Structure 1
């Protein structure tokens, strides 16, 4: 019986996994510069967290979650996104009481959504995201977007754009909501069943519908910008001013909405314009969620964040022909000649590794010529050749494969010799 990988998942093999490691390290380095600390939350959470935190009218909750009953008959869900778990941890661990505010966090890890697999979209995918909780300052909205743009730019992407919108505060959203209901209700039967269900519960989500995006009512739907009160308008202007000061270009799109219920004020997406990237151009998205922490039982706490898929990022890098500077180069390949030298090889190899040298040897009893070929295949910097005669004299021959230079050094000085030249 053949057992294959589940649909919508992938194996990341050696040769490819180094790219993931490079990206993950880049994310950690940038977060360190921006003063965001890592948080790790469970792979699964109580289902109610996502129903309350993400919104029970969203596609994620209604259609895409992997939910199961455990042996205690509790409903648990593999996390479909990272913000709600971070907010839950923020409340549960009383981070709102920390002296240093806002609390600035980042995460990297697998998420799970039952959706149709396609290029760059998997049912298990890896998401990198940040959350800043505890500040109403518009400049931190700009900081979050700047961090995301910095990540893409330092990895080498050029065909990207930041698309920005505001969803307004509660008062503005309420007025906009009523206008949307009045606009769509007379002809709502012409829309898909999802839109019909959302008309009264969350009409803003109608604007995010993929099926009915070409309907004529979409083109002239009421814009949130016509319903912004003075405070919301001033907030959005301050966000844009901060971006301008950072020299970050952006496009304002009044039709941009986010798929989760907890967003208000700032909403944004970063998109790829690269040729061949595909019809779905979004690389990442985020926004402000001033009511989320309160909904999860914490004090009223403003927050903002974003999330990006590493799979989509890798697809964009490929579309732009960006080669990441990753190597898996071997420092030293130990070639042995003779039974005595072969028997001593494990100890010598281990000593090299303890000294900080990446080292390898033959395990298939190959001839010396085949061992040299293996060293070439592994892109070794040095070949250390040990025969019975050298072993008797406690010497070893070291050849630099890049220059062809070969020297004989005392066995106990081999590691230091290579370290000095690496």
Structure 2
């Protein structure tokens, strides 16, 4: 017996009942980004594996454990992108978009891939919106990215359910000094650390600060603080970010253990978190990565950006009851036609309606059927009105308009008045 075909675990279909909410979210995001002057870029989902090894870091969990990597027919090692920043940096370098200090304010949207244990809010194929800015070194652009997300949360109605956590990782030099002090401290308590943290002491010690193990967190209480190792430049930059957020009235919490999960971050890092989704509390995160372009073979170029997980934000809208009720209505008007002559006329009038009212969502009945069966289809379509066209209406050059969601009476109007009448009803 053949195996039933189904989707790969952790890679989910988005069904027709779900896509209106996704489109609403995507359109809201695009509208906010457009209003701030950001331009969309689209990158391939497959890249050379070396791109991610060089940018994300050889000893990160993503590169070590989570990437979907394979050899193609030419023997090249390729990887399904696990995040978008590296691909975006590769694209702007390859096409010369950041040469000679040219400023770029870019955004992208699409699927990412990581071989993780699937759970609610965490999948093997997931979708992100990412924003990247190049060649703007000051704290003003860091603050703008946070203000942009703050405006988006208000547009989605979830601003009261998210918290901004903020930190500075300093420059690479100050971070190296802190790293050395942290490693000395952790080695002095090595046997008390959890297994993951013990491994990270030698490979990526700042990630120990992210440990969820209670014993490790207790040990970290007395660990050296990164803020004590920040150089003057980083301190001034961070103060500039905070001053702008204060001026705009954006609340935040300072979290000196916030380090983010990727090697390329420096100076400002931030996360938007929520307590409404259980363990999957981070819905958006990012920061500054001034050394990444140079690490990838380019000239010194400043960069800052963020990514937000669409699945988690969709789940949050559903959990908080913030799904706009109008999304349940997929069709405005359902056209019922009875008899061959009426069906032919319905085709003509449907196109006239679409010409006159470009935004109308009009569905013409297909497959014939009795009066009763067509009205069942009209009701299931979620349309507000049904148009009724049969032999009687054709003989009298008129058409019926029946409200489907109210107790109002059916109306009969002349065919040449149909589009004007619908324009009035659908306001």
TM-score by length of 1: 0.93
CA displacement at 1:56 relative to structure 2: 1.1
CA displacement at 1:405 relative to structure 2: 4.6
Q: Secondary structure at the match of 1:243?
A: helix
Q: Cα gap change, 1:211/1:78 in structure 2, threshold over 3 Å: closer, same or farther?
A: farther
Please identify, of 348-357 and 80-89, the stretch whose mean Cα deviation from structure 2 is larger: 348-357
Q: Distance in 1 between matches of 2:36 and 2:340?
A: 56
- Aligned position for 2:114: 113
- Aligned position for 1:302: 302
CA displacement at 1:11 relative to structure 2: 1.5
Q: Cα gap change, 1:297/1:325 in structure 2, threshold over 3 Å: closer, same or farther?
A: farther
Q: Map 1:306-317 to 2 at 5 A.
A: 306-317=306-317
CA displacement at 1:211 relative to structure 2: 4.7
- Aligned position for 1:363: 366
Contact 1:69 1:75 in 2 (8 A): yes
1:281 aligns with 2:281: yes
Q: Map 1:405-416 to 2 at 5 A.
A: 405-410=410-415, 412-416=416-420
Contact 2:193 2:216 in 1 (8 A): no
**5+ residue gaps, structure 1:** none
Q: Distance in 2 between matches of 1:384 and 1:347?
A: 14
CA displacement at 1:342 relative to structure 2: 3.3
- Aligned position for 1:27: 29
Question: Per-residue displacement from partner, 1:124-165 (whole Å, max 9, x unpaired)?
Answer: 111011111111111111111111222122201112110001
Q: Distance in 2 between matches of 1:408 and 1:69?
A: 66
- Aligned position for 2:64: 62
Contact 1:396 1:409 in 2 (8 A): yes
Q: Map 1:247-286 to 2 at 5 A.
A: 247-274=249-276, 277-286=277-286
TM-score by length of 2: 0.92
Question: Per-residue displacement from partner, 1:301-341 (whole Å, max 9, x unpaired)?
Answer: 11111111011112222332323344234232222233432
Please identify, of 101-110 and 304-313, the stretch whose mean Cα deviation from structure 2 is larger: 101-110
Question: Per-residue displacement from partner, 1:59-82 (whole Å, max 9, x unpaired)?
Answer: 111111011111111111111111
Of 396, 399, 402, 1:399 maps to: 402
Segments ≥4 residues shifted beyond 6 Å:
none
Tell me the number of residue pairs that the alignment of Structure 1 and Structure 2 aligns: 418
CA displacement at 1:224 relative to structure 2: 0.5
Contact 1:293 1:299 in 2 (8 A): yes
CA displacement at 1:184 relative to structure 2: 1.2
- Aligned position for 2:423: 419
1:142 aligns with 2:147: no
CA displacement at 1:36 relative to structure 2: 1.0
Of 43, 52, 55, 1:53 maps to: 55
Question: Per-residue displacement from partner, 1:369-419 (whole Å, max 9, x unpaired)?
Answer: 232232233232332221224324543333344432512213x55334323
Q: Distance in 2 between matches of 1:212 and 1:131?
A: 35
Of 77, 80, 83, 1:81 maps to: 83
Q: Distance in 1 between matches of 2:5 and 2:423?
A: 45
Q: Distance in 1 between matches of 2:100 and 2:379?
A: 55
CA displacement at 1:225 relative to structure 2: 0.8
- Aligned position for 2:391: 388
Q: Cα gap change, 1:281/1:212 in structure 2, threshold over 3 Å: closer, same or farther?
A: same
Question: Per-residue displacement from partner, 1:153-203 (whole Å, max 9, x unpaired)?
Answer: 220111211000111112211110110111112343544554344323332
Q: Distance in 2 between matches of 1:383 and 1:98?
A: 60
Question: Per-residue displacement from partner, 1:191-232 (whole Å, max 9, x unpaired)?
Answer: 455434432333212222345763542222211011112222
Q: Cα gap change, 1:31/1:406 in structure 2, threshold over 3 Å: closer, same or farther?
A: same
- Aligned position for 1:224: 226
Of 10, 14, 17, 1:15 maps to: 17
Q: Cα gap change, 1:343/1:238 in structure 2, threshold over 3 Å: closer, same or farther?
A: closer
Of 201, 205, 208, 1:206 maps to: 208
